[in-house]
Amino acid sequence: MFELIEEYQLLSAFWMTIKLAAFSAVISLVVGTVVAIMRLSPVKIFQSVGTAYVTLLRNTPLTLIVILCSLGIWGQLNIDLASRESSTFLVDNNFRWAVAGLSAYHAAFVCEALRSGVNTIPLGQAEAARSIGLTFAQSMRQVILPQAFRGAITPLGNVLIALTKNTTVVAAIGVAETAYRMKALAEFEPALLMVGFAIVALGFVILTLPMGMLTSYLSGRLAVKR
Amino acid sequence: MKHTPFRLAAVLAAGALVLSACGSEDGGDDGEGASPGGGGEDGLTIGIKFDQPGLGLKSGDEYVGMDVDVALAVAEKLGFSEDQVTFKESPSAQRETMLETNQVDMIFATYSITDTRKEKVQFAGPYFVAGQDLLVSADSDITGPEDLDGKLLCSVTGSTSAENVKEEVPGVQLQEYGTYSECVEQLSNGTIDAVTTDDVILAGFAAQDTYAGKLKVVGAPFSEENYGVGLNKESELCEDINTALTELWEDGTMEQIIEDNVGAAGYTPNPETNPAEAGGHCA
Amino acid sequence: MSDTTRVLFDAPGPKARLRYLIMTVIGVLLVLAFLYVIYGRLEEKGQLSAARWDWVLTSSAWTNYLIPGIWDTVRAAAISIVLSMILALILAMARMSDLGPLRWVASVIVEFFRAVPVLIMMLFVFYFLAHRGWFPDTLNPMIGVIFGLTMYNSSVLCEVIRNGVASLPAGQREAGLSIGLSPAQVRRSILIPQSLTAMLPTLVSQVIVITKDTALGYLILYPELVTRGRQVGSAESATLPAYIVAALLFIIINYTLSKVAEALENRQRRRKRTAGPVAHADETVDPGAVAVGRGAA
């Protein structure tokens, strides 16, 4: 079994999965928050852009988003995310485009999670913020968003879990993560398919179970008591 | 209201059955009339690739390419007319199983004869000897793998051919996609420098109208891939197919087929290895 | 959106209106500039030339690739949602059962299939079947896709049913028990039926998740929309346009579905026929047993 893990570099594959998930989680949180603010803002055009973003990204399969990032944005618009001089240009570039695709897709879900968090805030909070003369930006920053994040812990945790599992999709552009290694294993060592699947499945259980537990712990702890 | 969930479940189950029933009816992609037993008396089921321009391509509702033409010519020699032949998609990962379980009678799908595969299936042919080569843009100065140092090379995920190049020339960087068409797309817009796989497959892409004059096959093959006709080990057609293939080379049909399908790319088969010597791989 | 949004900012006065106007103009200009840059780059690369796109207008592209692709996508999604519902019902009954071992087994199944990525499951089932050769092999990708989707989504829906039951007023259960029904009968004939009606909108949004996830079948050669897009892209040497068309078709299908979900939810709110609230995949009552529904690919 250990030879199998070594031969198909399953450990480095899981490390790749973790890196993809970590980077995408941070970026999608930032982008998602921006989109959520746009959707809540008083300026009509920002609302429309935010809504269009969520509608487009949420309804496209992630596989296609990732492929279009690589073939379309990298290939056609010539936007390199790494230095062409570097000896690891392709590896870095693919990784970063994978992160970009994953982040763009999950940002739409982060945005929706935050909006559901905003919905948990009683009207009085926003009214109070306005009545003491806070502007939109001020009330967002100091009253609404802090409570929205705390109210949205559960859906945000779910997005993080989904994101971790969705990293497998980037095998389509040749990023060497778990699905990529598992495909190689299935093709070259059919006899080991069962063991390989067991290891990969176990790995994902180990990755996602703590996330789920942390989410419920935090949501209980951080929920705004009303 | 009493047993609603179960009634609901029953209705849903019935629905699923209906759906999967009509699923299995035409579940075979295009295998309309493909008899599951694998042809039988009145027809031949032949496995080909559906997505390889120049070799085996489903174009609209017809099939075109070198493998298709060779398959039809062999079928004719075996006494089957064109409308007795049914084509079925045989993706690389499934070729041996399709033969072992008799879902197809024979496979013409850029199927290299290897010892590992011969443990499971038998091969007629080879009918063609291809070699691993490079596809580059028409104005590129790459003339072989040795020029690839520091360049970007594309191939499909899990392809051993790309790994081989990487071993020879450690400075090359590998991009992997699900299919060669994605690689060729990236090559034609200048994002990567070369695509590698068997020369005839590359020629098939280069011969497409869109890429005419833009891409070229380098023409210095650095491996030998013997394309065989995959057959079930029990099949008795093996020697007959060998005879048919030899005749096809002798009467010039093969050259014509190659010219028709990949000639537009300026591609000619490697004269040192072709015509291929059919025989020797039957069970 | 609830009233919260409308309350986030005041009705704009003259100054604020001017400010909004300026921001609107800047916003519009930014959007236009963004689109123009993309247009310019694509034009320069010849991606917008007729030769790259005219295949979309041929009937052959639709009858041979796109419509069969949509059909295979919809079919796999439909079979999966139906099977998921049945399995979810069974799993939910088992998880709420009075029998310890049954509960335990069901919990392990649910937790396992929620944790394993759908793609990994599809790859496993596909290669497993491909090496065995039990089924005609055009069926293997379809079985792989349906198995992966069904196992994952039934686990999610199982939790939605459980949450729906948990959110019903205690009086429902107590009333059932007081007229002499056993706890199992109460669950079967009172609690679960109500939770099912309440979860209808969730079910539709789960259909969207499933429809999108059929695209994972691309990696195991299931001939759905992305695979067909790839095929037509190879045949017409228009790989990128073909993927863009596939993406647009997915957006249209899923957008329609999401509108259906919204309409259903509104109707249910108006009719208020259920005793409990609308059960939701992402706003579950019991945060410890959350469903990952909406966030999934």
Which residues in chain A (154-193) have CB-CB distances under 8 A to chain B? 171-174, 180, 183-184, 186-188
Output phi, psi for B44, to 5 deg.
Answer: -125, 135
Residue C157 pLDDT greater than 80, yes or no = yes
Which of B4, B45, B87 to mutate: most C Cβ within 10 Å?
B4
The residue with greater pLDDT, C265 or C117, is C117
Tell me which H or E stretch contains B154. Answer: strand B152-156
Report the gap between the CA of C281 and the closest CA in chain A (Å).
9
Beta strand B51-52 with B56-59: parallel, antiparallel or unpaired?
antiparallel
Sheet of strand B51-52: strand arrangement: B51-52, B56-59, B62-64
Q: Show Cβ contacts of residue B48 under 8 Å, excluding neighbours closer than 6 positions.
A: B56, B63, B65, B67, B68, B71, B87, B88, B89, B90, B107, B108, B109
DSSP reduced 3-state for B89:
strand
pLDDT at B120 over 60: yes
Token couple for C122: 């599809």
Does pLDDT of B230 surpass 70? yes
CATH of the domain at A38: 1.10.3720.10
- Find the range with the poorest average confidence among B93-97, B181-185, C290-294: C290-294
Q: Which residues of C touch B3 (CB under 8 A)?
A: 188-189
Span B223-244, average pLDDT: 90
- pLDDT for the residue numbered A204: 95
Contacts of C40 (CB under 8 A, 6+ apart): none
Compute how many other C-beta atoms are within 10 angstroms of the C-beta atom of residue A123. 12
Could you tell me if residue C191 is left (phi over 0), alpha (psi between -120 and 50 degrees) or otherwise beta?
Answer: alpha
Q: Which residues of chain A have pLDDT under 50?
A: none
Which residue from C131, C188, C230 is facing B97, i.e. has the nearest CB?
C131
Omega of the bond leading into B269 within 30 degrees of 0 (cis): no
Report the distance separating Cα B61 and Cα B46, nearest Å: 16
Query: Which chains neighbour A (Cβ–Cβ under 8 Å, 3 or more pairs)?
Result: B, C
Q: Is A3 on the interface with B (CB under 8 A)?
A: no
Alpha helices in B35-193 (DSSP H): 66-77, 95-100, 115-118, 160-168, 180-188
Quick check: C8 and A64 CB within 8 A? no
B44-130+225-265 and B132-217 share one CATH topology? Answer: yes
CA distance linking residue C234 with residue B208, whole number of Å? 10
Q: Would you place residue C156 in the very low, low, confident or very high pLDDT band (cuts 50, 70, 90)?
A: very high
Chains that touch B (3 or more CB pairs under 8 A): A, C
User: For A41, which DSSP code?
Assistant: S
User: CA C173 to CA C159: how far, in whole Å?
Assistant: 19
- Mutation target for A interface from B149, B157, B193: give the one with most A CBs within 10 A: B157
Question: Is the model's pLDDT at B274 over the cut of 70?
Answer: yes
Band (C200; pLDDT cuts 50, 70, 90): confident
pLDDT at C2 over 70: no
Per-residue model confidence (pLDDT) at position B38: 42
| The predicted structure's pLDDT at residue B16 | 54
User: pLDDT: is B191 or B274 the higher one?
Assistant: B191
- What are the boundaries of each domain within chain B? 44-130+225-265, 132-217
Chain A nearest C-alpha distance from B9 (Å): 28
Mean of the per-residue pLDDT values of chain B: 82
Lowest-pLDDT range of A182-191, B33-42, C160-169: B33-42
User: Has residue C26 got a pLDDT over 90?
Assistant: yes
Percent of chain C whose pLDDT exceeds 70: 89
**What's phi and psi for B228, nearest 5 deg?**
-115, 170
Closest Cβ–Cβ partner in C60, C79, C188 for B5: C188
* Mean pLDDT confidence for B246-261: 89
Dihedral of CA atoms B249, B253, B254, B255 in degrees, nearest 10, equals 100
The pLDDT score that the predictor gives to residue C150 is 96
Domain B44-130+225-265 belongs to what architecture?
3-Layer(aba) Sandwich (3.40)
Would you state the pLDDT for residue B11?
A: 57
Q: How does pLDDT run across C61-116, given as a tens digit for each residue?
A: 898 889 999 999 999 999 999 999 999 999 999 998 888 899 999 999 999 999 99
Whether residues C292 and A162 touch (CB distance < 8 A) is answered with: yes
Option in A61, A140, A190 nearest C127 (CB):
A190
C-chain residues near A42 (CB < 8 A): 8-9, 12, 16, 20
d(CA B70, CA B274): 15
Taking alpha carbons only, the member of B140, B278, B268, B124 closest to residue B200 is: B268
pLDDT computed for residue B183 by the predictor: 93
Distance, in Å, from the CA atom of A206 to the CA atom of B267, rounded to the nearest integer, reads 53
A208 at interface of C, judged by CB pairs closer than 8 A:
yes
Cβ of B157 and A75 within 8 Å? Answer: no
Query: For residue B92, how many C-alpha atoms fall within 13 Å in the half-sphere facing its CB?
Result: 17
Model confidence pLDDT, tens digit, residues B59-81 = 878 899 999 999 999 999 898 98
- ipTM, interface predicted TM-score of the complex: 0.91
**What does the block give as tokens for A209?**
């179970």
Note whether A78 contacts B: Cβ–Cβ < 8 A: yes
pLDDT class for B82, splitting at 50, 70, 90?
confident
pLDDT at A62: 95
Backbone angles phi, psi at B125, to 5 degrees: 95, -160
The pLDDT of residue B13: 56
Check residue C202 and give its pLDDT.
82
**Which numeric CATH code is attached to C55-295?**
1.10.3720.10
Prediction pTM value: 0.87
What is the model's pLDDT at position C286?
Answer: 32
Sign of CA dihedral B152, B155, B156, B159: negative
For the residues C132-138, what does the mean pLDDT come to?
Answer: 76
CATH match for B132-217 among 3.10.129.10, 3.40.50.970, 3.40.50.300, 3.40.190.10: 3.40.190.10
- At A15, list the tokens: 């490390």
Distance from CA of C74 to the nearest CA of A (A): 14
- Tell me which long-range contacts A26-31 makes (C-beta under 8 A, separation of at least 24): A27/A99, A27/A100, A27/A103, A27/A107, A28/A102, A28/A103, A28/A104, A28/A105, A28/A106, A28/A107, A28/A109, A28/A110, A28/A159, A28/A163, A29/A110, A29/A156, A31/A103, A31/A104, A31/A107, A31/A110
Q: In this complex, is the C-beta atom of A67 within 8 Å of any C-beta atom belonging to chain B? A: yes
Does A172 lie at the interface with C, CB-CB under 8 angstroms? yes
Half-sphere exposure of A49 (CA within 13 A, CB side): 21
Interface membership of A55 toward C (CB under 8 Å): yes
Nearest to A42 by CA among C26, C23, C31, C1: C23
Nearest to B157 among A74, A88, A171 (CB): A171
**Tokens in use for B224?**
């030998």
Cα–Cα separations (whole angstroms), residue B22 to A60, B15, B28, C8, C87:
27, 11, 11, 53, 21
Report which of B246, B10, B220 is spatially closest to residue B131, judged by C-alpha positions.
B220
Task: Indicate yes or no: CB of C193 within 8 angstroms of CB of B185.
Answer: no
Q: Residues B263, B208: contact at Cβ < 8 Å?
A: no
Instruction: Determine the distance in angstroms separating the CA of C46 from the nearest CA of chain B, rounded to an integer.
Output: 9
A61 → closest Cβ in C2, C131, C215: C215
Q: Chain C: list its partners (3+ Cβ pairs within 8 Å).
A: A, B
Weakest-pLDDT range from A58-72, B237-251, C198-212, C265-279: C265-279
Work out whether the CA dihedral C119, A102, A118, A52 comes out positive or negative.
negative
A80 has a chain B CB within 8 A of its CB: no
Instruction: Tell me the backbone φ, ψ of residue B196, rounded to 5 degrees.
Output: -125, 135
Question: Which position has the higher pLDDT, A126 or C10?
Answer: A126
Per-residue CA distances from B5 to A104, B9, C121, C161, C216 (Å): 39, 6, 28, 11, 31
Residue of A nearest to B150 (CA): A87
Residue C117 makes CB contacts below 8 A (sequence gap 6+) with A165, A166, A168, A178, A179, A204
Average pLDDT over residues C147-157: 95
Q: Which sign does the torsion angle of CA C171, C177, C183, C186 carry?
A: negative
From residue C200, how far is each of C32, C155, C260 by CA, in Å?
40, 16, 11
Query: What residue has token string 């033969």?
Result: B99
Q: Count contacts between A and B (CB, < 8 Å).
A: 43
Q: How close does chain A come to C161, measured CA to CA in Å?
A: 18
Residues of the domain holding A103:
2-222
Structure-block tokens of residue C99? 């029998």
Contacts of A180 in chain B (CB under 8 A): 157
The answer to whether the Cβ–Cβ distance between B182 and C239 falls below 8 Å is: yes
Pairs across B and C, CB distance < 8 A: 117
Question: Before C68, cis peptide (omega within 30)?
Answer: no
| Chain C residues close to A168, C-beta within 8 Å | 117, 119-120
Confidence of residue B14 (pLDDT cuts 50, 70, 90): low
By mean pLDDT, which of A184-188, B48-52, B259-263, C144-148 is the weakest?
A184-188
H runs (alpha helix) in chain A: 2-7, 10-40, 44-59, 62-68, 89-119, 123-131, 136-139, 145-151, 153-166, 178-188, 193-222
B157:A74 CB<8 A: no
Region B87-91 average pLDDT: 86
